[in-house]
Structure 1
């Protein structure tokens, strides 16, 4: 009887310990970058849990894997540059405003690839998904005969997924800090620049000489460098510049997207010249 009485609390204790030591339910539900790139079904909630280093791995795995079959092995190198900047500056921790916005962008790309490949039609509620799918389908078919047409479609897809990311952050009660909001304006300038090639080239022709003696002459190669989605360096350097400006707030009083673009141009052009001999 004594043995039996002792065995009951002992078994209860062992059961309690087993429960504490057992894996927590859902602890292994966190998806890895490789799993997300292979399945193309990670939600923005899944992506929000990834670090920026892991998101960089995820985007690169999509480019070298499933997206390569759509002639898109390098279509998000500029986004790689932005994510690399976030990683290096330790920005965008899971659950933050930056994290949710970025998760919306990456989710839109992921689902766009999946839809374009015929691997389902679920957009995950992300308006960027269908636009990315359309962009990729046209890209694979060789439908973009001009740089302007390509950049327009790319920027519209990224804009839609970015807007979804902003809404996602707001839905989770996250609000951009003043610095983050000013930094975000730079990304809006970038997408506007992609969509308005003739306007931007005209601006550089008219104002370029006032900003730098070589800018008007080199406006086309500079513009093509800055808006090249297959390069990570321009976006990374652009982020460095924009974040520095956002912290110091030197663009106060500048109005309109065109005005913001011109406020950044001098430093961006210096970055361009540093890597290009003319």
Structure 2
């Protein structure tokens, strides 16, 4: 009501559920109510965010009266690059994993490429999360002669757990290693990194939670940015039109070969029933 501006960032499913065309066709003012936002320098949605357009609640009336002026029409801000909808992703040209490996990073550094593949395995050689700066998400370093953790750009910070998961994706002819970070990783695993660590506070870095492991075999369309130093960085994940494979049905014959190996491994973070007490 004070006409102060604040920018809110919506990610993943929450962003895709916002029907921009319908909102633009509604007579002003259009009131949007959002719940469960993550409050920081720029608020963003969480996995539990709900969005309501013009809700029928008493509190909405004062806002409608205040923002009914001609100058209050909806304004669209420019985006840094073209954001594709799920329907547009289905039509976009997709590369194979073999071709993905052959792309020149210098030629594609400012482009996003799309690759349809399934996740076959994960690597834990440097853990699946790191302690990052809550402002820029860069990895924190320990200050010399102290236990304080600092960011090179933002001084001393309280660490924020951030995903850094290395995964191997495959299609029928080849495989490649991708890096899952930030919102795409949260979208894929269905939980924030902080919440997952809170769920398993004593889990070692080398042990992958079941929330991550259960995505093995799933087919997705990966939106990838090619980085000369860091390899293939996933910037977005879209569902495939094919049915997701179940635990009993391999996604691909190549995945089936690995099942005999995986069966012998201990299922991490899985709960087992307590043994019956002796009588």
Q: Shared fold (TM-score greater than 0.5)?
A: no
Q: Write 1 or 2 for the structure with the bigger share of strand.
A: 2
TM-score (norm 2): 0.28
Larger Rg: 1
